[in-house]
């Protein structure tokens, strides 16, 4: 009786140990990937930030309301760009993204441009119309791939296949915290200009703010998309590292508990044997 429970505990310990080996290996891989992905994220920031400012200034300067990138129209259909992970085992990383999208979408019908294997699988299963399913690999999303995607998106937007373009991705705040962001890319919202910024009004646009916007918008969007993908990948790796770190810790605690039980069972078995021998000798 005691022997069989000892054997069972030993097996559990073995299985938890091998799980721990896997989680620890994944943690190490994530840690080593983290440094490079953080660097890539940092280098993609300046373009996205600077061009956002320039585009917003141009939007403020626009007086003509016929620029489709600026003028809001009734939203019959949205397009979501969803950047999720390539794999699971990253805590709530993927689930949080899908939740945020569902909350934002409400009742409005939508199409999805999924980036990352998990996003493709999820929306394929849901039966949502997908614009493109080529980009399962977030880490490998190149600048030129972003330009290609944006061309497809702006064409769709201008042809009124959808009336709003929304980006859903995870922003890297710090190693410990990553937050899902839902950002409206198109139409570009007119930023508030509190004291009607004189500089912006006096800026000379060549030839006009409207034409400049029409021409520069795809480049800006591609930069934003690339930067978001870099952020999302760094977030995914950080989330996985954290998830695997706590999984490894939990496995360690579990093994400690099981060892204690194993030793107790072993002790019990020995005591019982001695009692049996002594009893046998006395008889």
Which residues contact another protein by CB under 8 A? 40, 43-44, 46-48, 50-51, 54-55, 57-58, 143, 146-147, 151, 199, 202-207, 209, 211-212, 215-216, 219-220, 222-223, 226-227
Q: How far is the CB of 148 from another protein (least distance, A)?
A: 10
Q: How far is the CB of 46 from another protein (least distance, A)?
A: 5
CB 137 within 8 A of CB 51: no
CB 80 within 8 A of CB 162: no
Residue entry with tokens 């200009």: 193
Q: What gap in Å lies between CA 166 and CA 178, rounded to an integer?
A: 19
Q: How far is the CB of 91 from another protein (least distance, A)?
A: 28
Residues 6+ apart with CB under 8 A from 258: 9, 12, 13, 16
Q: How far is the CB of 157 from another protein (least distance, A)?
A: 16
Q: What gap in Å lies between CA 190 and CA 87, rounded to an integer?
A: 37
In the bound state with another protein, the residue whose beta carbon lies nearer, of 207 and 280, is: 207
In the bound state with another protein, the residue whose beta carbon lies nearer, of 91 and 209, is: 209
Which DSSP string do the residues of 209-272 spell out, in sequence order? HHHHHHHHHHHHHHHHHHHHHHHHHHHHHHHHHHHHHHHHHHHHHHHHHHHHHHHHHHHHHHHH
In the bound state with another protein, the residue whose beta carbon lies nearer, of 228 and 258, is: 228
Q: How far is the CB of 202 from another protein (least distance, A)?
A: 6
Q: What gap in Å lies between CA 53 and CA 67, rounded to an integer?
A: 18
In the bound state with another protein, the residue whose beta carbon lies nearer, of 22 and 47, is: 47
Q: How far is the CB of 232 from another protein (least distance, A)?
A: 15
In the bound state with another protein, the residue whose beta carbon lies nearer, of 99 and 151, is: 151
In the bound state with another protein, the residue whose beta carbon lies nearer, of 33 and 240, is: 33
């Amino acid at each position: 009786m005691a022997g069989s429970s000892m054997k069972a505990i030993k097996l559990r310990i073995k299985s938890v140990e091998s799980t721990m080996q896997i989680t620890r290996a994944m943690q190490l891989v994530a840690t080593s990937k983290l440094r490079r992905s953080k660097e890539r994220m940092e280098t993609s920031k300046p373009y996205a930030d600077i061009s956002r400012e320039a585009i917003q200034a141009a939007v403020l300067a626009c007086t003509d309301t016929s620029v489709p990138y600026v003028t809001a129209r009734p939203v019959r259909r949205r397009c979501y760009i969803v950047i999720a992970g390539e794999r699971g085992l990253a805590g709530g990383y993927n689930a949080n993204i899908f939740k945020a999208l569902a909350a934002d979408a409400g009742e409005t019908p939508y199409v999805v441009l999924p980036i990352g294997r998990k996003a493709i699988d999820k929306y394929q299963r849901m039966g949502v119309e997908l614009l493109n399913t080529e980009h399962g690999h977030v880490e490998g999303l190149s600048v030129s791939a972003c330009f290609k995607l944006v061309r497809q998106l702006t064409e769709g937007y201008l042809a009124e296949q959808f009336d709003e373009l929304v980006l859903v991705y995870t922003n890297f705040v710090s190693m410990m915290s990553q937050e899902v962001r839902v950002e409206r890319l198109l139409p570009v919202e007119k930023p508030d200009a509190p004291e009607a910024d004189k500089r912006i009004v006096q800026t000379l646009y060549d030839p006009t703010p409207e034409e400049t916007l029409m021409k520069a918008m795809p480049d800006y969007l591609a930069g934003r998309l690339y930067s978001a993908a870099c952020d999302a990948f760094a977030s995914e790796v950080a989330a996985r590292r954290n998830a695997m770190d706590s999984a490894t810790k939990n496995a360690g605690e579990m093994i400690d508990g099981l060892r204690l039980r194993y030793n107790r069972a072993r002790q019990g078995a020995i005591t019982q044997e001695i009692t049996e021998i002594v009893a046998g000798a006395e008889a």
